[in-house]
Structure 1
Amino acid sequence: MIELSAAQARRLVVVCQGLHRANPFGRSEAGVLRCIDQLGYIQIDTISVIKRAHLHTFWTRLPSFQDGELDQAQRDRKVFEYWSHAAAYLPMHDFRYCLPYMHAIASGQKHWRKPDKKMMASVMRRIRQDGPARARDFDSPPKRPADFWGGSKPAKVALEQLFIEGELMVSHRDGFQKVFDLTERVLPAEVDVTKPSSEEFYRYLILRMIRAQGIATEAEVGYLRKGIKAGLRDQLQGMLADGEIVGVQVEENPNVYYSSQEILDSALSVRVAKKVHLLSPFDNLVIQRKRVSQLFRFDYQIECYVAESKRQHGYFCLPILFGDQFVGRLDPKADRQNRVLLVRNLVIEKTLADPERFARELSAKLNLLAVFNDCETVSIEQCNVKKIAAAVKRHFN
């Protein structure tokens, strides 16, 4: 069992997540592809008080990122959309590892709701004959209560069911609307469509998680995946016995983590720059909240799903990463009409050894976040540490 200090574990994770220096993946579409290949997936979310989560997650690691670069990667068939633990962009070369879930859903396993086979057949005929289509391209029925998919339109539900079964893929996006087409017309001919064996699938989950996160527990590898616990445990133990992975213990942490000797040797020696990152609530680093609490001693919850009267920090608070530690959070809103990035609440939760440097770095990052959100200025409305707020505002000028 390899032992790591808490600081070493944090550094390892930050490096593997590509948050250790300003521009770890390069630029343009090539940088987008290197980023998603390292992280394994990028979660998609619809909330738009600032730029949507998938765009924000790329921007955090690719300072020059432009929305069109992701669109182009999708049109070039280098990335695709599917369900990871949630809706996500994935590298196209990982397509075959989505086949087990596609086949399970097509065989009757429920995803969100019972499919309407008649409507699904009608939708397939329409797309096969007329080409790619959006949900809005189908006639709307009389109004009924909204369902999970954001509307009651049967064609929309059918599209999503056909998508999750693998019959349709998202060809591209029109704005934020998905444009669906037949999988056979979207999937590049060279992509491997052989369904992986259980062993291959478990190995994929394990190695992808270790590559992206540095260390991971059994539960973290299997996060939100049903029916794989026993098989995943057997695979981990087999890889451990073969020396392909190693066990890791982190000081004052009861968990057994897994990593590879190669990753430990390469990443632990990398320096983490003392820079500020404002992470999306759906960023790969923070999406597993229990993991963040145990490794970084940072308790985080997104409060947009919490009743307003019960929110402690704000609707869409972003975790603030400074070097390899979370030091607070801030609640932003892009006032696009007035071109102002509003920081409705800035909360500093740790004593800072160099508050002036932090203020300078935070100010610079907020200015960049404003530009990314088509804003020209930043306004801090509330902060629990007035000296920090004053220092940040001073660096705006």
Structure 2
Amino acid sequence: MNLEKENLSLREAQKIVLLSQRLPGVNGAGSATNATLHAIEHLGYVQIDTISVIERAHHHTLYNRNPRYQASHIKELIADGKVFEYWSHAAAYLPMEEFRFTLPRKHAIATGKQKHWFKQDDSVMQWVLDRIKNEGPLMAKDFDKKGVKPGEWKTAPKKQALENLFMQGDLMIKERVNFHKVYDLTERVLPPAIDTTLPTEKEQGKFLVKKYLQTNGLGKLSEMTYLLKNTKPAVTNALNLMLETGEIKEIQVDKTDYYVLPESLELLNQPLSRKKLKILSPFDNLLIQRKRTKEIFKFDYLLECYVPQHKRKHGYFTLPILWDGKLVARMDSKADRKQKILDIHQLTLEQSLKKTEAFSNALCIELQSFLKFNDCKGIRLHRTVPSSFKEEFESSYPNLIV
């Protein structure tokens, strides 16, 4: 029997997505560190990235969910066994309470059912594992010379062995020192009460569906399995079963079909802070699937740091700007840490943005917080598109401009 699907407007869909993503963030109850933990537990993962032209992506994503966020929170949560590093669609921080749902990937890699990008050398891997077992936590650089004859072992194989052991679950990252990974045996890192039973395919599929929809509001099969190898059959079966039991519903937005949790539709009755502006990381959970961002927010976004300079339209590291419940601008920025100045090389407004004065006011308020987050004290605004906005912003907020 075909039931007619509920239709949502784009504006309604955007509201559900943003409230599910907890954007813009608000001050919650309890300690600031616990607020960060709750953000990671809700999101399910926070992508780690090495680019540091502004504060790194994992800090940036959490700062936008928790206004009291401090970079030290992640280190504290890892030390307390509440957060760990592993792979989501990319390298990420994940909540320890969901550790067992990383086991299917680890098991598949360990048994050869899933290929990792590094070739496995069993003898080298065993040598690395034995050293860590006997010596305690080690970094990649600890393997450069110690215990190896000159010319016997190049740098690449030892890093590959560490990564393979990490991906198949024998090692975990105990901590980072100056952003360098410190590896230790999994049994020495895992808190004692953590569930380590391997989920069934049915459990795994249902977990992936429910987690995605809780975090993202609405979604499609292709989005739920994005860069998650060998998960499509389990997720497909879970979707069919959850539709039958009424745990999820099918809706339509802009002639596109989505799945949604019934309770997520109730978010339409909650307020969304449209006046508050947020400058987002390119690797924010809201944005990571660019096709989805274009379909739901009509925002065509490309991170141009991977594009040759002469082909860039918006800049090297453009930060999407969320305001009025929409993605309305993008800002190419770099923190000059010596001078403590945030260079805005180009600020581009979307053509659909008409309320430029209200947007300017909201941007000024958020920039003051964003400067502090990046340990900067002023702004150099180089260029805006349209060009007329530059004079409008600078004349209104001279205290921010250096």
TM-score by length of 1: 0.94
Q: Is the 8 A contact 2:33 2:73 kept in 1?
A: yes
Q: Is the 8 A contact 1:314 1:345 kept in 2?
A: yes
Q: Is the 8 A contact 1:25 1:32 kept in 2?
A: no
The whole-number CA distance in structure 1 between the counterparts of 2:162 and 2:316 is: 31
RMSD across aligned positions (CA): 1.9
Structure 1 residue 116 corresponds to structure 2 residue 121: yes
Report 1:68-87 matches (<5 A).
68-87=72-91
Aligned with 2:252 (options 249, 252, 260): 249
Aligned twin of 2:226: 223
The whole-number CA distance in structure 2 between the counterparts of 1:184 and 1:203 is: 27
Residues 152 and 67 of structure 1: CA distance in aligned 2, closer, same or farther (over 3 Å): same
Aligned with 1:128 (options 119, 125, 133): 133
Q: Is the 8 A contact 1:12 1:268 kept in 2?
A: no
Deviation (angstroms), 1:80: 0.5
Deviation (angstroms), 1:353: 4.1
One-letter amino acid of the counterpart of residue 127, structure 1:
I
SS of residue in 2 equivalent to 1:77: coil
Residues 193 and 267 of structure 1: CA distance in aligned 2, closer, same or farther (over 3 Å): farther
Structure 1 residue 388 corresponds to structure 2 residue 389: yes
One-letter amino acid of the counterpart of residue 131, structure 1:
G
One-letter amino acid of the counterpart of residue 332, structure 2:
D
Structure 1 residue 101 corresponds to structure 2 residue 108: no
Q: Is the 8 A contact 1:363 1:396 kept in 2?
A: no
Greater shift in the superposed pair: 278-287 or 152-161: 152-161
Deviation (angstroms), 1:25: 7.3
Q: Is the 8 A contact 1:303 1:317 kept in 2?
A: yes
Structure 1 residue 139 corresponds to structure 2 residue 144: yes
Deviation (angstroms), 1:27: 4.8
Deviation (angstroms), 1:268: 4.3
Q: Which structure 2 residue ranges, 5 or more long, are not aligned?
A: none
Q: Kindly report structure 1 stretches of 4+ aligned residues shifted beyond 4 Å.
A: 24-27, 140-143
One-letter amino acid of the counterpart of residue 327, structure 2:
F
Report 1:221-300 matches (<5 A).
221-250=224-253, 252-254=254-256, 256-300=257-301
Residues 383 and 25 of structure 1: CA distance in aligned 2, closer, same or farther (over 3 Å): farther
Residues 120-147 of structure 1: CA distance to partner in whole angstroms, max 9, x if unpaired?
111111111111111112215889xxxx
Q: Is the 8 A contact 1:340 1:375 kept in 2?
A: yes
Q: Is the 8 A contact 1:170 1:181 kept in 2?
A: yes
Aligned twin of 2:20: 16
Residues 354-379 of structure 1: CA distance to partner in whole angstroms, max 9, x if unpaired?
32221121122222222211111111
SS of residue in 1 equivalent to 2:251: strand
Q: Is the 8 A contact 2:125 2:162 kept in 1?
A: yes
Q: Is the 8 A contact 1:318 1:331 kept in 2?
A: yes
Residues 35 and 274 of structure 1: CA distance in aligned 2, closer, same or farther (over 3 Å): same
Greater shift in the superposed pair: 174-183 or 264-273: 264-273
Aligned twin of 1:373: 374
Greater shift in the superposed pair: 18-27 or 184-193: 18-27
SS of residue in 2 equivalent to 1:304: helix
One-letter amino acid of the counterpart of residue 37, structure 1:
E
The whole-number CA distance in structure 1 between the counterparts of 2:70 and 2:54 is: 15
Deviation (angstroms), 1:309: 1.6
Structure 1 residue 49 corresponds to structure 2 residue 53: yes
Aligned twin of 1:146: none
Aligned with 2:9 (options 5, 20, 23): 5
The whole-number CA distance in structure 2 between the counterparts of 1:20 and 1:47 is: 23
Aligned twin of 1:192: 195
Residues 25 and 49 of structure 1: CA distance in aligned 2, closer, same or farther (over 3 Å): farther
Deviation (angstroms), 1:396: 4.7
Deviation (angstroms), 1:97: 0.4
SS of residue in 2 equivalent to 1:265: helix
Q: Is the 8 A contact 1:27 1:62 kept in 2?
A: no
